[in-house]
Amino acid sequence: MEVEQWYDPVLLLVNILLGCSLPGIRELPGNCIFLGERGCRISGRYHFCVNYLCDTLKREIGGEMMEKVMSASGLEILKGAQLEYYLRRWFSLRGIDPD
């Protein structure tokens, strides 16, 4: 299963609400549909994607900067989870299945 298939309707809605255009074609053949030349093309990302760092980045970053990256990643995951929870709750309270 490709990573982009993990993105459910709620997470796609988050991206639309954040003003992201959902790509219809792959910019980089053989890669995730959301991956572009300059990285991820969407803002609301699945937690796996937020945590993922390729080996090259891991080697380049290191030390104190890696701590900052991991801290920012953790905050992004927390805020994203909170937003998803509230959206799912909003839909559920209205009798709408968000999936």
- Per-residue model confidence as pLDDT tens digits over 1-37: 588 999 999 999 999 999 999 999 999 999 999 999 9
Whether residue 28 is contained in a domain is answered as yes
The pLDDT score that the predictor gives to residue 1 is 59
Q: Is residue 26 part of a domain?
A: yes
Cβ–Cβ < 8 Å for 45, 73: no
Distances (CA, A) of 55 to 23, 58, 61, 62, 95: 26, 5, 10, 11, 44
Record the pTM: 0.81
Residue 70 CB partners (closer than 8 Å, separation 6+): none
Range of the domain at 18: 3-93
99 vs 83: CA distance, rounded Å: 15
The average pLDDT across 35-61 equals 88
Count how many domains the chain has. Answer: 1
Asked whether residue 99 is assigned to any structural domain, the reply reads no
For residue 76, is it within any domain? yes
For the segment 84-98, what is each residue's pLDDT rounded down to a tens digit? 999 999 999 999 998
Asked if residue 20 belongs to a domain, the reply is: yes
**What is the pLDDT, as a whole number, of residue 57?**
83
- Does residue 98 belong to any structural domain of this protein? no
